[in-house]
Amino acid sequence: MKKNIKNVELEDLQNIMVSLNQPAYRTEQIRQAIFKFKRTSFAQISNLPKNLKDYLEEQFEITSLQIKTVRKSLDGSIKFLFSLEDGNLIESVYMPWYDDTSESIERETLCISSMSGCSVGCEFCATGKLGFKRNLQVSEILEQIFLVEQHLNTKLTNIVFMGMGEPLLNYNNVVQAIEILTDPNYELFSRKKITLSTAGVANKIKQLATTNRPVKLAISLHFTTNILRNQIMPINLSSPLEDLMDAVEIYYKSTKMPITYEYILFAGLNDTDEDVKRLVKIARRVPSRVNIIPFNDISFIRQTNLSKDLKIATKEQIKNFSDKLKENGIVSITRDSFGSDIEAACGQLTLSETKMSVKIKPIN
């Protein structure tokens, strides 16, 4: 089976060129064609000699994803379902952000996946109900971006690793993809336009801080005590809040980039005044902000007793919680839920396509 050329690391490609008696500059010509100009066949790389193009065609492939389903929401967001070569599915969501004073698009963000399925198993996440299929390769991470740009005939402005999977549990491939995306030679993205969201893998957060071009970090926090995080976010058993907060401090001190805390508000569970106090204390450790996120209902799938207890907070409850944070000097932003009419929440469309434990809700 051919290896995807996007998965070949720089040093390995250099060694291949040496073995073929090709000049050293061929390596960068190939990488520029693939990453900067997004060529989809070796025949399109006009500055390579024919014998080298023939060799590359025989030994490597250049694409690894196919768009399976596209759904557009009334709010302008678009969900893409991709089919991998082994038949597994992954999702990306395109989110246009509009200027408040006009109808023009201010920025175009793509939420991308790092795994097919997920190994973390958070109780509130539809992807976790899929189970873990496998980590994505570098090519499969990058091609979500390239294919969406091609399909929409646009240039994305922001990338968020907030789709299917825990990025820091696919550390090597995610970091390699980020290195490519932020390489100034390819003119793709500034590292400040890329956000990596993690449920909290403390040792990998520390490691990420030491990379060449670290990106913005978002912590899927959601609960302010180890007791609730242990129950609902099992990753906390190996990275408890104390270790996670120490890693966050190290990341900020190394990168000087403010931290985002993501907080899904669940009615009667993590919305108390004590939660506010603990969250304020957490948010004050380093410059940061809190994004309050509406809960996407996952009652259409088979649930555990824990997930059944997760209740959607009302708009009033969300506002009250946000106001209390602001009163304590914490920047708090309430995020809209994109694409509720197209199963845009992480994992929903894949579950629908694979028909895994889907329950049809009666119409009242």
Residue pair 174/141 in contact (Cβ under 8 Å)? The answer is yes
Residue 341: its pLDDT value, please? 63
The percent of residues in the chain predicted with pLDDT above 70, rounded, is 89
Cα 135 from Cα 132, distance rounded (Å): 8
Half-sphere exposure of residue 357: CA atoms within 13 angstroms, side-chain side: 15
Element (H, E) at 92: strand 89-98
Does the predicted model carry a pTM greater than 0.75? yes
Structure tokens at 99: 């200027």
Which residues are identified as catalytic? 91, 346
Structure tokens at 44: 């399109």
pLDDT value at 361 more than 50: no
Residue 358: its pLDDT value, please? 34
Range with lowest mean pLDDT among 100-109, 297-306, 321-330? 297-306
The count of other CB atoms within 10 Å of the CB of residue 221 is 26
Return the CATH number of the domain spanning residue range 3-61. Answer: 1.10.150.530
Range with lowest mean pLDDT among 4-8, 75-79, 148-152, 287-291? 75-79
Residue 362: its pLDDT value, please? 30
Please state the rounded mean pLDDT for residues 222-240.
97
pLDDT confidence band for 39 (50 / 70 / 90)? very high
Residue pair 281/239 in contact (Cβ under 8 Å)? The answer is no
Range with lowest mean pLDDT among 70-84, 222-236, 309-323, 331-345? 331-345
Residues counted in the chain: 364
Q: Which residue has the tokens 């329950």?
A: 359
Choose among 272, 266, 288, 254: nearest CA to 324. 272
Residues contacting residue 167 through CB under 8 Å, at least 6 positions apart: 114, 161, 174, 196, 197, 198
The count of other CB atoms within 10 Å of the CB of residue 157 is 16
For the chain, the domains span: 3-61, 66-354
The percent of residues in the chain predicted with pLDDT above 90, rounded, is 81
pLDDT confidence band for 363 (50 / 70 / 90)? very low
Residue 127: its pLDDT value, please? 85
DSSP letters for 166-206: -GGGGHHHHHHHHHHHT-TTTT---GGGEEEEES--HHHHH
Mean pLDDT of the chain: 91
Helix, strand, coil percentages, rounded to 5, for the chain: 40, 20, 40
- Fold adopted by 66-354: TIM Barrel (3.20.20)
